[in-house]
Structure 1
Amino acid sequence: MDRGHKMWNCSPWALLPPVYSVCTAVGLWAVYFIAVRDEQIAPLTSHYRRRNGSFYPPYISAAGNFPPASCIFSEVMNLAAFVAFIIAVLRYLQLKHTMDKPWLNFGCLVAFSICCFGMTLVGNFQLFTQKMIHNLGTFMTFGLGTLFCWVQSYFTLRVNLKNEGRIVSIIRFLLSGSITLCMILYFSLMSQRLHMHAARCQWALVMFFLTFLSTFAIEFRHNRFDVVCTDNSGRRVSLSETHSEVYTYQPDQR
């Protein structure tokens, strides 16, 4: 009974990270399948050989370069950046009063905010039209995103929320290592013009990163995040109180 009661008392915010990760992954794979259907990129399972200018390697950016896939890609990346920023803010607030080095927690939030901005650059500046800006967004996303994963893994072990930190940190350190390995392989294979293998590493990198973000559901299930405002008199007004006032107030219909 106690275990079932605790499960039902989990914060609804725990649903945000996994739903975000699943929806973002679905959106990116939809872009991929549309690009493959329109014969703009080669399938990931094929042996890539470009002939007569057709079939680009299946990089995520190449898949999202041509319409109609580019339209979906821009929407997916913009929404993904926005929700990822919200997750990072909630994580910052969760650790704000538990970290012995608050500047490190704030610095991690700033770094990931820049990462989210990089995601918008990747989505809105296509690779073949604005290559420099697109590649800048790619470096911001992958570089700062990887740093964020390592720092959050350290936070998980250091803070040890609800005595779950040690187990969860192992998962996050493994995911961070996988992300780093994929990123190193991605750039190494790119430099050797092994585009098919590099594209596969890129897709694996993004999926590992989304999986990492989904693990924040473990800690979020313990916390409630309420919106609170303060009026001019200094009295704090919560969101629930505001809602109750709206429902109890009956305007004069005459």
Structure 2
Amino acid sequence: MGLSKVWVIPLLTFVFSSSAFLASYFIAVHLNHVNEFWPYISDSGTTPPESCIFGQLLNLSALFLACSVYLRHRQIVEFYWHQHQQEGKWRSISCFLLFVGYASALGVSIVGNFQENNVIIVHYTGALLAFGCGLVYAWAQTVFSYRMNPKLAKPVVSHFRLLLCIVSTFFFVTMIVFGPILGQAPDNVIGGGASKLYHWTGSEPNYVEHMIGTCSEWILAICFQVYILSFAIELRHAYCHAPKLRLVAYYCDGMAPSESAISVTSGNAISCCAGSMSKNRAKLDREIRPTFNIEMAGLEESFKRIPDTDGMPLGLDAADFVNPARQTAFDKSVHCMKF
């Protein structure tokens, strides 16, 4: 079992994030919770009931963003290691970017769950993670795009991503400068409470700076969504298989192992019980090794297809991203996958 259309994952990231922004905006405007013209994204998702929809959709967006980041990492591993057998710094950089992308996804979830009128520090921290880490991730993935072209996508894709990065960087700076720094709300907040949102009008001071900040935030968010959506271009010819769960034999002191507990061939016995098992590991291995001969020709053939799996990281013992048309040839030449 697997997923043959992995390009749907970045598409769902785009759909859920866009739905969160637009749905909360229209509800907030309809209920007169925010101004009609260019409120901050967070302002339109602060007051119930729109805050509930905003948070739920952003959580889903964060989930699929994390999945998209992982798919991109595995695509890089497939390209460099399985296709070209290349060693180098790409492995460490891709792993680092994997966690940078996860941090951005975490920030998106924080923004949706912690409203600015309740816990503003946590909300701003989430926004900084989402946009800041997202910007670093986008620039680094653009470099990978240029290095992997034209084998995965046309150069125009890399050029488009570079343009998105430049635009995003510019509006990230303007959002910081003209938003919380220069575009602060006057002291006469509606209702006199700090938990209320301010309704801006054109005759007030800092209005122009405020509008530059809000427009910058919207454009930055749209650019980041489109950037993640662009991963679908390279994933349209890829598929992934279901994660593999491998069971191994387990032993308890003073008890013989059950044949039903042994499912796959293994040279290392793992105990589910603590105690003196580690002292007798070698002896137990010699006694139990014959029971590992599984009389299943189909299963044995599946193990023969991979030359050596002992050194593989958990769950990375087969290629996830290969063209189905060349799957047979690939299986004959696959080597251990490394990060």
TM-score class, shorter: 0.7 to 0.9
Are 1:37 and 2:30 counterparts? yes
CA-to-aligned-CA distance 1:71-112 (integer Å, 9 cap, x gap): 011101111111100011011111114344200000001011
Aligned length: 216
Note the 1:56-205 alignment, pairs <5 A: 58-99=39-80, 100=88, 101-160=90-149, 162=151, 164-190=153-179, 191-193=181-183, 194-205=209-220
Per-residue Cα deviation, 1:10-58 (whole angstroms, up to 9, x for no partner)? x52223322431332122111011111111111226xxxxxxxxxxxx1
Summarize the Cα distance change of 1:33–1:148 in structure 2 as closer, same or farther, 3 Å threshold.
same
Match in the other structure for 1:3: none
The question of whether the paired residues in 1 share the 8 Å contact of 2:12 and 2:64 is answered with no
SS in 1 for 2:240: coil
Deviation of residue 231 (structure 1)?
3.7
* TM-fit CA distance, 1:215: 0.4
* Offset of residue 171 of structure 1: 0.7
| Aligned partner (choices 9, 17, 24) of residue 17 of structure 2 | 24
Q: Which amino acid aligns with 1:33?
A: F
1:192, distance to aligned residue in structure 2 (A): 1.6
- For the pair shown, the structure with the greater C-alpha radius of gyration is 2
The reply to whether residue 218 of structure 1 matches residue 233 of structure 2 is: yes
Query: 1:211/1:163 Cα in 2 relative to 1: closer, same or farther (>3 Å)?
Result: closer
SS in 2 for 1:44: coil
- Judged with a 3 Å threshold, the aligned counterparts in structure 2 of structure 1 residues 214 and 118 are, in CA distance, closer, same or farther, namely same
Distance 1:163 1:65 in 2: 41
Contact 1:159 1:165 in 2 (8 A): no
TM superposition shift of 1:163: 5.5
Please give the secondary structure, in 1, of the residue aligned with 2:67: helix
Which region of structure 1 is more displaced relative to structure 2, 164-173 or 147-156?
164-173
Note the residue ranges of structure 2 that are not aligned, 5 or more in a row. Answer: 81-87, 184-208, 249-263, 266-298, 304-317, 319-339
Alignment of 1:238-253 (within 5 A): none
Contact preservation (8 Å) 1:158, 1:165? no
Deviation of 1:136 after TM superposition, in Å, equals 0.7
Match of 2:289 in 1: none
Q: Displacement, 1:186?
A: 0.8
CA contact (8 A) 2:16 2:60 kept: no
CA distance in 2, matches of 1:111, 1:20: 17
Q: Report if aligned partners of 1:157, 1:165 keep a CA contact under 8 Å in 2.
A: no
2:8 is matched with which residue: 15, 18, 26? 15
